[in-house]
Structure 1
Amino acid sequence: MSQNAAALLVIDMQNGLVHGAQAPFAIETVLANINQLIADARRQQRPVIFVQHTGPEGTPLAHGGEMWQIAAELQREAHDFYLTKTRPSCFFQTSLLSLLQEKGITQLVVAGMQSDYCVDTTCRAGRDLGIEMVLASDAHTTFANGVLSTEQIIAHHNKLLSGPFVTLLKTAEITF
């Protein structure tokens, strides 16, 4: 990774997705890898940013509900940053970009859910905004979609995003 000021962005690792009716692919490994990234970021005194998807009232991801909460398995601290979003992009109508600018962050390490929606969209949007995006290839997950298996979806997005949109690295290769 470059020497740019980095932060960790953890996308949509909420009870409703992590512990929903359908288990995300390799969720235990993904949770462990995200916790490793969190620990590494903290050791280097880099910001950890959690983003929670918020659905309309009456839906499982409605603001404040149990399913909306960040999964308890993740190592959170009060001084972490917590943002909400209503669209796949973590940048759309959120304070993420202004937070990054305020903190002098020019590089985001991305992990979380879902590979084919919010992870993909956020990586593309961040790159278009001039942010160096690093995708942890083994720290994002999703669900099968009836056409492709989860393994195929994750591999496809790792390949598709790598190069034009992200630097693709495994958790063990990422340094802050």
Structure 2
Amino acid sequence: MLSQTALLVIDAQVGIIEGPSIGPVFKKEQVLTVMKDAIQQAREREIPVIYIQDLDVGKDDPQQHEIHPAILPLADETVIKKKATNAFFETDLKAKLNELKIGHIVMIGMKTEYCVDTTARAATTLGIDVTLIEDGHSTTDNKVLSAEQIIAHHNCNLHGLDNINYFIMVRKSVEDVFEHKHLEYK
């Protein structure tokens, strides 16, 4: 079983986090702080940081397509471009994780009900445990629910979601989220 850990930063792009057409996301400053802290902790612990960048964001405005300047990748960090909500779909993400012997991903990013949810669920079907940082993802209101409700709903429903032997844990950013706590239950 692969048990190394990586941090996955999902669609942390200017156009989603700041807007104008999609954002700003709920509790923008707070979530950016949590994301910055998680990235810094991963770097200090020499845990790979992998950025996912959605090709649909900012099609008409290259600035909106860029990763948010508060959390830019380092030159040696991987950036994987995707065109679907599932970061594994038609990308080399799974191959990269296999190369690094990653069996556990910690996730932060945007938007909760789309790419964060879909990628987390897909990871478990591919034999990867997921830790979603409870306060490290965000979204915007939709026609039915507020962003706060969407985030709370996903934190509740994704926690414990499993596919045979691999599952999702939702943990607070103040915890040691890089600890592969799933192994205690296997």
TM over 0.5: same fold?
Answer: yes
Structure 1 counterpart of 2:12, one-letter code: M
Structure with larger RCO (C-alpha < 8 A, sep 6+): 1
Structure 1 equivalent of residue 54 of structure 2:
53
Counterpart code for 1:107: H
Q: CA RMSD in A?
A: 1.6
Shift of 1:72: 0.3
Identify which of 89, 92, 96 aligns with 2:93: 96
Instruction: Please state how far the C-alpha of 1:171 moved relative to its aligned partner.
Output: 1.1
Letter in 2 for 1:168: V
Shift of 1:172: 1.4
Runs of 4+ in 1 over 4 A off after TM superposition: none
Q: CA deviation at 1:163?
A: 0.1
- The answer on whether the counterparts of 1:35 and 1:75 sit within 8 Å (CA) in structure 2 is no
The DSSP-based 3-state class of the residue aligned with 2:102 is coil
- One of 118, 123, 127 as aligned partner of 2:120: 123
8 Å Cα contact 2:5-2:178 kept in structure 1 = no
- 1:175 counterpart = 2:172: no
Partner of 2:164: none
Q: Distance in 2 between matches of 1:52 and 1:144?
A: 22
Give yes or no for contact 2:18–2:24 (8 Å, CA) kept in 1: yes
Q: Structure 1 residue 134 and structure 2 residue 120: aligned?
A: no
- Same amino acid, percent of matched pairs: 38
- C-alpha deviations, 1:30-86, integer Å up to 9, x for none? 11101111111111101001111002xxxx523981111001011421111101000
Q: Taking structure 2 as the reference length, what is the TM-score of the superposition?
A: 0.87
Q: TM-score, normalised by structure 1?
A: 0.92
Distance in 2 (CA, whole Å) between partners of 1:99 and 1:90 is 12
Preserved contact between residue 53 and residue 61 of structure 1 (Cα < 8 Å) = no
Give the partner amino acid of 1:16: G
Is the alpha carbon distance of 1:4 and 1:150 closer, same or farther for their aligned partners in structure 2, counting shifts above 3 Å?
Answer: same
Query: What residue is the counterpart of 2:11 in the other structure?
Result: 12
Aligned residues of 2:52 and 2:87 also touching (Cα < 8 A): yes
